[in-house]
Chain A
Amino acid sequence: QVQLVESGGGVVQPGRSLRLSCAASGFTFSSYAMHWVRQAPGKGLEWVAVISYDGSNKYYADSVKGRFTISRDNSKNTLYLQMNSLRAEDTAVYYCAREKVGIFGVVMGNWFDPWGQGTLVTVSS
């Protein structure tokens, strides 16, 4: 079955770095754009970054631009998020998600499905 499994979360001091991984299985990983979405404790969802199916295009939320880098290794079916210069406000559960695209009549849509189970990143001294 289609599955995404995140890893790499933990407790890190402000200013330090951490790399998250997302292992994909059950689908052709190299055919899909992939995203990172985070959720601070008790808060809503915040989109973080997207990478195209081949890694050639990457976009980031303003809140992480210049500090986070999204990448992928299609030979290993794995998505990554390198997080540098971490701040307390980066504390969150980080989810990876696959992007699907479809056309319904004249309407083209994109959506996230599935999502991984998430990995918790805590930035604290």
Chain B
Amino acid sequence: QSVLTQPPSASGTPGQRVTISCSGSSSNIGSNTVNWYQQLPGTAPKLLIYSNNQRPSGVPDRFSGSKSGTSASLAISGLQSEDEADYYCAAWDDSLNGSWVFGGGTKLTVL
């Protein structure tokens, strides 16, 4: 059971807009920034969104992130076949001695 809660799956057709949610608590998302990672099949995770809504250079502006309270969202507009991947949210958790926590991951299928 992951500390951050994501839907296990999401899907959309090419060109559509999809959103993936990430729910946490006051000790993680509520008090720290959220990052999103994309993991293409058989590869290592790659940074997609950092500090809630910042895009690294090279990441298309079709990807955007937002945060409100203890929840965050990743939005992908103009869905493309190459977006089919697993997506993970992550945040620092202040509880106990502190630790990084991840969502369970959302498998995005492009129909």
Q: Contact mask B40-52 → A, CB, 8 Å, 1/0?
A: 0001111100111
Q: A44-B103, A61-B99 are in contact. Are A111 and B44 (CB under 8 A)?
A: no
In the assembled complex, the CB of A1 is this many whole angstroms from the nearest CB of chain B, namely: 12
Q: Which of B9-17, B74-82, B90-98 interfaces with chain A?
A: B90-98
Interface residues on B, range: 20 to 34
User: Do the beta carbons of A102 and B105 come within 8 Å of each other?
Assistant: no
Given A104-B51, A110-B92, residue A46 in contact with residue B44 (CB < 8 A): no
Tell me which residues across on chain A come within 8 A of B45, comparing CB atoms.
37, 45, 95, 112, 115
Selected from B37, B43, B51, the residue in CB contact (under 8 A) with A102 is B51
**Chain A interface helix/strand/loop/mixed:** strand
Residue of B nearest to A112 (CB): B47
By a CB distance below 8 angstroms, the chain A residues around B43 are 117
B contact set with A: CB distance below 8 Å? 2, 32-33, 35, 37, 43-47, 50-52, 54, 56, 88, 90, 92, 97-105
